[in-house]
Amino acid sequence: MLAPTALEHEEARRIKQEEMIHECNLWEDPAKSNEILIKLAGSAKAIDALKDLKYKVIHVEIIFYEFYL
């Protein structure tokens, strides 16, 4: 299944982006900070979508398992 791998990748990417926020002074370069925050928001949306997909797949597997027992 690819969803957990993609989820782990996005979570690692988000952690790196959060580290970038801590390393730079957001007040010095508004354009760079805006770019970082946009990427961080994109990662958060991707993580939410992948977690939702993972949740749905688990429930489909449960329903499938119960149906064929």
pLDDT digits (tens, 9 = 90+) for 22-47: 887 777 888 888 888 899 999 999 99
Banded model confidence at residue 3, pLDDT cuts 50, 70, 90: low
Angle between helical axes of 30-67 and 3-23 (0-180°, round to 10): 160
Instruction: Give the span between the Cα atoms of 56 and 30, in whole angstroms.
Output: 39
Q: Are 17 and 36 in contact (CB under 8 A)?
A: yes
